[in-house]
Amino acid sequence: MFGYIKPSVQELKIKEYELFRGYYCGLCKSMGRSFGVLSRFALNYDSVFLGLLLASVHGEKPVLKKESCIANPVKRKWIVKESPGIDFAADINVLLTYYKLKDDIRDEGGWLPTFLKLVFHKGYKRAALTNKDIDRIIASSVSSQISLEKKGCSSTDEAAEPFANMMMQLLASGYSGDDKSVPRILGWIGYNLGKWIYIIDAFDDMERDIKSGSYNPLLRQYKYENQDIKDFKASIAEEVKVGLLQALSQATGSLELLKLDNKGIISNIAYEGLYGKTERVLNCIAGEKRSCVRDEESIRGIGY
Amino acid sequence: MRNPYEVLGIREGTSVEGIKRAYKELVRKYHPDQYQNNPLSDLAEEKLKEINEAYDYLMKKAESEERNSSYRQQEEPRYGNNRENGDRGLYDQARIYVNMGNTAAAEEILNRISFRGGEWYYLRGLIFMRRGWYNEAVTCLKTAVDMEPSNYEFRDALNSIMNANRQYQSTVYERRGYTSGPDLCTLCQCMICTDCCCECMGGDFIRCC
């Protein structure tokens, strides 16, 4: 999960935008407080969504404070404070980042991930200690991902399963109330978002994976044989889109079953945000860069 | 029972028209068609039940004429006509498991069937759908339709997936506001029509034309 789940900012109301920013900054500060300043570089939008969704499901009333920030010490901004949802998302963000770094080292080595992993080690230990189950969930998802890729899995759905399942469990375990249907709903939202993220990331990464010879489920499933990558992408885009939209349709259908605060922002992300992203990635066949804009990190880094 | 106004998401004292509008909107949102392949369909049904109750209550209270667009439980899908007699029992069993949501048991039964015709791929498609393996599901259902193009049950299953996707897309467009209000062309037409009518009656709406 690394930055695909974003609002469509033009369509937000100003007050919704400000509140979203508040959650974003709140998550950043929470990470800094619990895991050290450097961990804040790992902040990503997907975790903000996770925090916001959980805060909204629990009906948390956001405590807003105006504070300054290292990134912009002069301007004071609204920041959401004391939100258990955001703190949970901060833990998850750190755990996932740590596993991703570990994976980068296994893949490519190099001094940068090794150094970053050292930086994150303490934070990881802390987060893993308070969230033992979640640490276990992520670890087992990573190991099944590795074995799937080793055997060269040629079904995108099968390849997406570990990540989607992990997201399902992460979201479901973020709920602490006593409505029995809520974890089920959150779980299914997580599964479908996980599936969407995994596939869209695979589509987005095809060129790079061809160059580096890395595993990519779409290249396997649709049997890429050194033809022109643009033609190849164009030929599979329609079929990939059916699966992506179905995942989003199921996720939003499930979202409608939840009793939520901040419905405006969350619906904006789930409808305009995710649909817009799908269109952009699938239509960006000619682009050299990922999504035509470089603002995502690879997630399938995890597990290979 | 929860406050019926709250259930319908309207203010107390909303007019009958307002209630109807809110109700229709909600029914569309939670209609079983939207959740056909969603494992949370039972929760959607509960929600719809609550909405129906609230609406009934408010309508009775308003003592207005009976509502028309009540939601009826969908009938169970009909069984296909083309069947392999020997495996009939297995197919029926698999169907029951699919409907119950027990995909593992259904899959186990399917694996025991050696002759793989349209129905086999159809059921396999439904199993994949339940699991969230949409890409595989669509492939299986397409195979089923190709094998038995005249079977409407197979076709319906495939269509319902495509419809859900279209529904999602059109919700996005609506939310972006592309379909709200008449477009420029319609506005011009209306104005010209108004002008013609006015002129017929001896008046004028647009002076220069």
With a pLDDT cut of 90, the percent of chain B lying above it is 29
Amino acid code (one letter) for A259: K
Q: Average model confidence (pLDDT) for chain B?
A: 81
- Determine how many CB atoms are found less than 10 A away from the CB of residue A180: 7
Determine the pLDDT at residue B4.
83
Residue A227, judged by CB atoms within 10 A of its CB (0-12, 13-18, 19+), counts as exposed
Is the pLDDT at B120 greater than 60? The verdict is yes
Mean pLDDT (whole number) for B12-26:
84
Nearest to A245 among B40, B47, B165 (CB): B165
Q: Is A239 helix (H, G, I), strand (E, B) or coil?
A: helix
Question: d(Cα A88, Cα A76) in Å, to the nearest integer?
Answer: 25
**A interface residues, B as partner, C-beta within 8 Å:** 11, 155-158, 161, 164, 181, 184-185, 188, 191-192, 195, 221, 239-240, 242-243, 245-250, 252-254, 256-257, 267-268, 271-272, 275
Determine the pLDDT at residue A297. Answer: 47
Closest Cα in chain B, distance from residue A257 (Å): 7
Query: Which residues of chain A carry a pLDDT beneath 50?
Result: 1, 294-304
The reported pLDDT for the residue numbered B85 is: 57
Give the span between the Cα atoms of B124 and B119, in whole angstroms.
8
Residue A136's pLDDT is 95
Q: Is the dihedral of CA A224, A228, A232, A235 positive or negative?
A: negative
Q: Could you give the CA distance from residue A92 to residue A131 in angstroms, rounded to a whole number?
A: 9
Bridge partners (DSSP) of residue A77 are: A67
Q: For residue range B165-203, list pLDDT tens digits in order.
A: 999 999 999 888 865 556 666 767 777 777 777 777 777
> Do the Cβ atoms of A66 and A76 come closer than 8 Å?
yes
Distance between first and last Cα of chain A = 15
A203 within 8 A of A285, measured Cβ to Cβ? no
Which two tokens mark B35?
């959740």
| Dihedral angle sign, alpha carbons of residues A140, A144, A149, A151 | positive
> How far apart, in whole angstroms, are the C-alpha atoms of residue A57 and residue B90?
43
| A249–B164 C-beta distance less than 8 A | yes
The pLDDT assigned to B14 comes to: 80
pLDDT digits (tens, 9 = 90+) for A49-76: 999 999 999 998 988 988 888 777 888 8
Report whether B133 contacts A157 (CB < 8 A): yes
Give the Cα separation of A90 and A50 in Å (integer): 9
Q: Please say if the pLDDT value at position B66 is more than 50.
A: no
Cα within 13 Å of Cα(B208), Cβ side: 0
Task: Give this prediction's pTM.
Answer: 0.79
Q: Please, what's the b/e burial string for A147-174 (b: 16 or more CB within 10 A of its CB; e: otherwise)?
A: ebbeeebebbbebbbbbbbbbbbbbbbb
A206: CB partners within 8 A, 6+ apart: A216, A218, A219, A224, A229, A232, A233
3-state secondary structure of B181: coil
Which residue from A221, A242, A271 is facing B134, i.e. has the nearest CB? A242
> Among A243, A254, A272, whose Cβ lies nearest the Cβ of B38?
A254
Question: Residue B70: which H helix or E strand, with range?
Answer: none
